[in-house]
Chain A
Amino acid sequence: MGITTILFWFLSALALLSAIMVLASKNPIHSILWLIAVFFAISGHYILLNAQFLAIVNLIVYAGAIMVLFLFVIMLMNLNSHTEPQKNIWMKLAGVISGGILFTILISVIRSSADMVNRTAQLKEGNIGLINTLGKVLFSDYVIPFEISSVLFLSAMVGAVVIGKKN
């Protein structure tokens, strides 16, 4: 077992454990912190795949911004045992059934797709995730979707500023 393999198993175990803890912990703040741990584990996987750019962007965007906003909202909502909504048994049952169906579909898709079965991830090599490759692909093959989404983000930001200006 090389270091990479050990790291891979460690990160996988960490990701799964944290993901379970997200669901299992009672306190919503703890759930969010476990979710952040999941993102860290996934970023670790990206680094193992030699995709440092994706790893760090995953951290900046998800762990650094979106999770902060989650934390923000939950801290403001002041959730505790008194305000916990009543869950009735049918809701729980429906949740279990729909989640189970999704899980089965995912497993069957992964098992049946021939593309994935015989391939393993490239560890420590390959330059698909490097920023140069990614930039070239984004600005040549996928330039239109990329530009459209960046215009969308820009307009969202301008919109925020405009809404702020009104008052």
Chain B
Amino acid sequence: MQNLTHRSKDVDRRPLSLWEKMYIPSVAKGMSITFGHMFKKVPTIRYPEETRPFSPVFRGLHVLNRDEEGRERCTACGLCAVACPAEAITMEAAERKAGEENLYREEKYAARYEINMLRCIFCGLCEEACPKDAIYLSETFAPSNYARKGFIYGKEDLLIPDPKTQASDLAAAKGQE
């Protein structure tokens, strides 16, 4: 059969020459290779102490954004859920009552908002679909968990801290990114 690439090498089946039969030269060659590796730089990154920086376009865990006054931006339009190719997003809408204007920016808001991180493929289409700039993909990834339940992120997991009441938390979260 004709080779498609020229990378394959034919097996040399000739009997060993006397030099090769002595083994010791080739053993010495192999041992010099392993000895040389002792002085090579170790490429390991000691993970919990050292982390690799994410690239600027990294798409990680989602956050639900608030505006400057600390109100949730999401209006539960459902465009993100429609855009999601993995159908990872579900939500339930509710109407804003009087006196809740400081909590929700729009008249309709998401009472329940869940993303299944096991389904999510982190494509970022939800981010692009959102007309209200409410959902963003951050630079972290989902920590491991023992149960599948732990990977279904609700509103309390996704919402960023309120810049007015929890300013220090927000700064910490940003600093960690």
The reply to whether A and B meet directly (CB within 8 Å) is: no
Q: B-contacting residues of A (Cβ < 8 Å)?
A: none
Q: A-contacting residues of B (Cβ < 8 Å)?
A: none
